[in-house]
Structure formats: structure tokens, C-alpha cells
Amino acid sequence: MIYYIIIGILFAVILFLWLKYQGVKKRLDEKSNELQSLLNTSEKQVQFQQDFISILSQELRTPLYGIMGLTNLLAEEHPELKDDKKIKSLKFSGNYLLTLINNILQVSFLDNEEVTVQNTIFNLKDVTQNLVQSFSYATENSDNILHFDFDAEISQTVKGDPAILSQILMNLVSNALRFTKNGNVYFSVSLIKKKGDVSTISFKITHDGYEVSKEDQKSIYQEFINVENEKKWYLGTGINSRIVNRLAEAVNAEIIIQNNSHVGSEYVFVIDFKTQQVKEEQAHQNSVFEVNSGTKFKALIVDDNKLNLLVADKMLSKEQFDCTTIDNGFDAIKLAKENVYDVILMDINMPKLNGIGTTKRIREFDLKTPIIALTAVDVTQLNRQIIQAGLNDYILKPYNKNHLLEMIHKHIENSVLS
């Protein structure tokens, strides 16, 4: 009898525990489904935010390309305007806005995408001088003085990514100006050491303004800096250590920040550049001209924006190119069938038939002509499509004229020699 009672009690306990388990399991399943639903919603919101920022960036880059391009053309065609304050204002505003757009994109895609690094030949002194000049208008309208020094021992022609370099330096210089009033900002480029064809170079920005707090250093665009009233006279986007450190990491460089409440702050950006003799660079640029016996190159420029066509046409026409411009993909295909071009510059985002689709159709009958994408779209989303479509290369708008010419020359030369 006792045996049956014990069995009954055990059965009741097991049944009670099983029912409890089922209840807990049901609640956990419900919570799991809720969390999964929230996760899916969150992922969709993040993706929507990234898509929105990417589209917004593209919409901003397109007119900015026209503004910056026309400003540079005006300065080239009218040397008397070189020191004109209005031209300086336009250049500063364009460079400032471009850096701001790049920073917003970096914040958006920093955790999800690898930073795309270009490796091109460029003049280091020109890049740094242009950056200083872009701030000259701003300093003229303030009581700050921006000093610049470039070490004569540095080989000016280097290989690297001038866009990332400019983005980092513009953040650092603008931050120094931001925390300085009636003071000085010193920007110096110095050679630390040279081993073979690799030079270790430091870019040092020192200012005698306020110390930059750790909170300010860690700020990101979603968390705007709360600076007390006496610090409201700043210029520039401010330092964003999350961005600049990520960019520095992408190019195997380092940023060191030192604060001194009595003196100000110092930022040092240290990077290795592979240097190249100027003669070698000129030989590379000129070799393609020698192959073509000094004749003009034929270029087809495809872009649905009339202002962009005008800027690209004027830019290349000054550099031994005979340009044909067209504003849609269908007519571009027809022109490519009926004519032989040395290079085709292809806008990616066009109505009816975009640059990817246009390139695919051209590649059905022409596998040789270099096609370079000129795009305002964030290329990290397009790499696979660009390769599959048969595009040879891409450059992001607004682009540097010398960078574009170098890219064109490289691909024309490869096409001729292949």
C-alpha cells in the first residue's frame, strides 16, 4: 500500500514538473519569437537607415561634383581669380561638405563594411597644400592663424590613398581650429625615417586652444558634442576618433593624441608611404602618349546629369582627349557600336538603363575598350556588380582630376599593349 502511495506521489510530482516545464518552455518560445521579431525589425531598420544614407550621399555628391568641378575649371581658365575670396569660399565649402559626406558614410557603414583603400600615385605636397588652402578662407574670417611646414627631405611623389589621407587630415585640422580662438594652429609634415623606397611620415597638428576632453574625442555624429558656451566659435566637423582611427587602421597608420590644458592639444598621424621618383611617374604618365604617337584620344562620357557631362568634357578636353558626351545608356550602346573609343567613362546611376546594364550590353560586342565607372554611389555595395558587368575600374564622385587621368592612362596603356 505504501509502495503505491509513493509511486502516486512521484507520478504527481513528475506530472507537476512536466506541466511547469511545458509552461516555461511555451513562455520562452514566445519570448524567443518576440526577440527574433524585434531583431528582424531592428535589422530592417538598420538596413533602411544605411540605404537612406547611401541614397542621400549619392544625391548630395552629384551636385557637389558639379560645384567643385566648375570651381576648379574657373580657377584654371581665369588665373586672375586664384586669390579671389569668393573662389576660395567655394573651394572651402566644397571640400568641407565632401568631408562631411564621407564622415557620415563612414559612421553608417563602419561596423558592416570594410573600408575600400585605393593605391594610386599622387603628389603628397600638393594634397597637403590644397588642404591648407581649403581652410584659408575660413581662417581669413577668424582670428586664428594656420601655419604650414613641409619637410624638404620628403619625396613628394608617393603611392597611397589621397582621399583617406585628406579625410583624416581635414578632421584633425578642423578640430584644432574648432578649439582655438585668437590663436595658432601648426600643421607640419615631417620625415621620421626612410628605409629603401618606404618613408615613414608624420603629420602633426598642434594648436594652442582648449584641451580636447576624452568625451569630445569619443563623440560620433549621433551624439553631438555638448560644448560649453565659451567654446561655440568652432569651425569644421570636429574630431571623430571612431572614424579617423578606423580610417588610419585601414591604411596601417596610427593617430596619437596628446592633451595639455596649459598649451593645447597635439595630434600626430604617422603612416608609411612607398615613394616613387618623379621621373618614374612622368614616364608612366607619358608612355601611353608615346604609344599613340601624340594623337588625341577618343573618350565617350556617359552621364544623365548635364552639368557632370560639361565638367568631365572640359576637364578631359584640356588633356589631349576628343570627347563625345551622351546622357543615357541606350544611346551610349549605339555610339559604342558605331565608333571606336580609347576609353568610356560610365555613370552608374542612370534612369531606364543604368551603367551596370549599359556596360553588360557593350561587353557583348566589345571586350577590349576600358570602361571606368564614375559613380556617386558608395562602391562597397557595388564591387561584385562592377566586376561581373565588365567594368575595368571605378572612381567616386567628386574625384581628383589627376587621379582620374592616371587611371585612364593606365587602362588605355594596358589595352594598347594587350
Across 204-213, 237-246, 379-388, the highest mean pLDDT is recorded for 204-213
Amino acid identity of residue 50, one-letter, is Q
Amino acid identity of residue 264, one-letter, is G
Q: In 3-state terms, what secondary structure has residue 233? A: coil
Greater confidence (266 vs 364) lies with 364
- What is the rounded end-to-end Cα distance, in angstroms, of the chain? 99
CA nearest to 166, candidates 101, 88, 110: 101
* Confidence at residue 234, expressed as pLDDT on a 0 to 100 scale: 33
Across 37-41, 162-166, 215-219, 362-366, the highest mean pLDDT is recorded for 362-366
The arithmetic mean of pLDDT across residues 37-43, rounded, is 76
Ranges of each domain in the chain: 84-275, 278-417
* Confidence at residue 332, expressed as pLDDT on a 0 to 100 scale: 96
Least confident of 158-172, 224-238, 327-341, 346-360: 224-238
Residues 6+ apart with CB under 8 A from 167: 99, 102, 103, 244, 247
* Confidence at residue 79, expressed as pLDDT on a 0 to 100 scale: 79
Least confident of 179-193, 253-267, 269-283: 269-283
- 261 pLDDT exceeds 60? no
Fold (topology level) of 278-417: Rossmann fold (3.40.50)
* Confidence at residue 284, expressed as pLDDT on a 0 to 100 scale: 46
CA nearest to 311, candidates 91, 66, 74: 66
* Confidence at residue 105, expressed as pLDDT on a 0 to 100 scale: 64
Contact status, residue 138 vs residue 177, Cβ threshold 8 Å? yes
Q: Which helix (H) or strand (E) holds 56?
A: helix 2-77
* Confidence at residue 173, expressed as pLDDT on a 0 to 100 scale: 86
* Confidence at residue 240, expressed as pLDDT on a 0 to 100 scale: 62
- 288 pLDDT exceeds 60? no
Share of the chain above pLDDT 70, in %: 70
pLDDT digits (tens, 9 = 90+) for 133-157: 777 766 766 678 889 999 999 888 8
Which cell is 185 given? 594652429
* Confidence at residue 364, expressed as pLDDT on a 0 to 100 scale: 94
Amino acid identity of residue 314, one-letter, is K
pLDDT digits (tens, 9 = 90+) for 291-341: 444 568 999 999 998 888 988 998 898 888 999 999 999 999 999 999 999
Residues 6+ apart with CB under 8 A from 222: 107
Q: What is the mean pLDDT of the chain?
A: 76
* Confidence at residue 18, expressed as pLDDT on a 0 to 100 scale: 75
- Whether domain 84-275 has CATH 3.30.565.10: the reply is yes
- 221 pLDDT exceeds 80? no
Greater confidence (38 vs 353) lies with 353
CB atoms within 10 A of CB 165: 24
The arithmetic mean of pLDDT across residues 388-395, rounded, is 86
CB atoms within 10 A of CB 110: 14
Least confident of 31-45, 76-90, 108-122, 227-241: 227-241
CB atoms within 10 A of CB 343: 23
- 285 pLDDT exceeds 80? no
* Confidence at residue 337, expressed as pLDDT on a 0 to 100 scale: 96
Which cell is 233 given? 566659435
